[in-house]
Amino acid sequence: MKKSAVAFALVGLTAMFSGAAPTRVLAGPAEDVQSAMQLLKSKAAAIGAPSIKGEEELAGKKVPVLYFGSTKMNGNFALVDEVQKEKGGTATIFVKDRDEFIRVATNVKKEDGSRAIATMLDPKGKAIAAIRKGENFFGDVDILGKPYTTGYEPIRDARSEILGIYYVGYPKQ
């Protein structure tokens, strides 16, 4: 039996005898990223189809307004915070603004502890290169100077146009 399976079994047995709920045992960064990405995408799909409706100022920067159904995502942290609460790590919704991708809903933090809202995805990074080709990216990248194990997937409208990016990630230890 693998160590992770033994650890999970022990946690479950301890919980069963103590009456406590089992503690989540991490499967590993890659599995966590895949699981968190699926959760983010399914929660977004439950809200509604993605669309862009106009522009607005967000943290001093004029950006397109991204919606899922009738729910505006710009400055709305409910979705990303739900994913963080359920899976840990970080989550972000980016909107496409010409050749850039801007964080419009995020729980990634800046050095000062504030949300990194209206900040741009690294224009020279590995993730944006994949997204520009219409591909997903899963791997290690630096986010605002810190290493993360991440996943990025395009947000597409009904015509398959890329409107933004789903992101999830876990700080590297």
pLDDT digits (tens, 9 = 90+) for 98-132: 999 999 999 999 999 999 999 999 999 999 999 99
Distance CA 164, CA 157 (A): 9
CATH number of 28-171: 3.30.450.20
Q: Which of 72, 37, 45 is nearest to 58 (CA)?
A: 72
The whole-number pLDDT of residue 5 equals: 36
Q: Where do the structural domains in the chain lie, given as residue ranges?
A: 28-171
Question: 83: pLDDT confidence band, cut at 50, 70 and 90?
Answer: very high
Please name the residues in contact with 166: beta carbons below 8 A apart, sequence gap of 6 or more.
37, 40, 41, 44, 92, 93, 151, 152, 153, 154, 155
Write 1-7 long-range contacts (CB < 8 A, 24+).
Answer: 4/28
